[in-house]
Amino acid sequence: MAEDPMKAVLHYAQALKAPRIRESAARLAAQARDASWTHEEYLAAVLSREVAAREASGATTRIRSAGFPTRKSLEDFNFDHQPELNRDMIAHLGTSAFLAKSRNVVLLGPPGTGKTHLAIGLAIKAAQAGHRIAFVTAVDWVARLKAAHNAGRLPAELAKLRRIGLLVVDEVGYIPFEQDAANLFFQLVSSRYEHASLILTSNLPFAKAHLFARTCVRPCRNITCCVGPVGGRCGVLPRAG
């Protein structure tokens, strides 16, 4: 007597470490018979369950390992407190399309205006889109680079970080950098140019922020989003009130 085909499917799914196929194969087979699916339609339905589960699991892992101080989503951002903030631009940034071009996002504004919330929300969207992400304050990034420099492995560390699609650098300018620290931070930014993306948050206006001096000359009092290569052209959102 021939082997039960469904038992064979479940065995192969286990061998492939595809638990969602094991869970959905029989149920979808019954649905396929009732709806007269083609073999291709059934196979696509089964495989789509496995792919969706793996993507969700991967996003969860990427978010968990990112180092966020807390979880924030774009959906939870209170735009009523920032009525002049361009929601369409934020929504566009939330598609993570800027990562495909290795563009950068700069969020400026005084404390309490939601810069970190937006940065985390955008980074989570990037993780859900399949990108590796990491979140650290500017001071901690510099400390990491300084340790690598002292150990003689700064180039290797920068290369390692360049493989992370999106770095979030929070609180740039909150504590002024010494010259050596500023040079290390510049190396981080320049090493990612046209290779990977950054999201930077700062309470400094462009006119006073050395890192942004060539990015945009318009001084900003509240949240402004600037999209573009650091040191290059950028598009500026209307300031938030």
Q: What is the pLDDT of residue 2?
A: 54
118 lies in the same domain as 97 = yes
DSSP conformational letter for 217? -
Task: Give 19-85 as a DSSP string.
Answer: HHHHHHHHHHHHHHHHHT--HHHHHHHHHHHHHHHHHHHHHHHHHHTS--SS---GGG--GGGSTTS
Is 207 within the bounds of a domain?
yes
86 lies in the same domain as 145 = yes
pLDDT, one tens digit per residue, over 8-54 is: 888 888 888 888 888 898 899 999 999 999 999 999 999 998 888 88
Residue 222's contacts (CB-CB under 8 Å, 6 or more residues apart) are 82, 108, 109, 110, 113, 239, 240, 241
Contacts for 25-28: CB closer than 8 Å, 24+ residues apart: none
Q: What is the pLDDT of residue 217?
A: 33
48 lies in the same domain as 97 = no
Look up residue 129 and give its two tokens: 């889109």
Q: What pTM was computed for the model? A: 0.71
Which has the closest alpha carbon to 174: 150, 142, 134? 142
Quick check: helix, strand or coil at residue 219?
Answer: coil
* Cβ-contact 131, 161 below 8 angstroms: no
Q: What is the pLDDT of residue 6?
A: 86
d(CA 60, CA 46): 22
Domain count for the chain = 2
Mean pLDDT of all residues in 199-205: 81
Whose tokens are 């638990």? That residue is 19
234 or 50, higher pLDDT: 50
99 lies in the same domain as 22 = no
Q: What is the pLDDT of residue 225?
A: 52
128 lies in the same domain as 193 = yes
| Mean per-residue pLDDT of the chain | 82
206 or 12, higher pLDDT: 12
Its domain, for residue 55, covers 5-63
Q: Nearest 5°: phi and psi at 72?
A: -135, 140
Kindly indicate the confidence band of residue 206, based on its pLDDT and cuts at 50, 70 and 90.
low
Is 69 within the bounds of a domain?
no
95 lies in the same domain as 55 = no
Q: What is the pLDDT of residue 70?
A: 92
pLDDT, one tens digit per residue, over 132-191 is: 999 999 999 999 999 999 999 999 999 999 999 999 999 887 767 788 888 898 899 888
Residue 29's contacts (CB-CB under 8 Å, 6 or more residues apart) are 6, 42
Q: What is the pLDDT of residue 205?
A: 64
Helix or strand run (H / E) with residue 154: helix 154-162
Task: Give 54-70 as a DSSP string.
Answer: HHHHHHHHHHHTS--SS
Kindly indicate the confidence band of residue 74, based on its pLDDT and cuts at 50, 70 and 90.
very high
pLDDT, one tens digit per residue, over 213-233 is: 444 333 333 334 554 444 443
String of b and e for 57-84 (b: at least 16 CB within 10 Å)? eebeebbeebebeeebebeebeeeebee
Q: What is the pLDDT of residue 77?
A: 92
Q: Is the pLDDT of residue 100 over 60?
A: yes
Distances (CA, A) of 135 to 19, 123, 199: 32, 8, 9
Is 43 within the bounds of a domain?
yes
Q: What is the pLDDT of residue 149?
A: 95
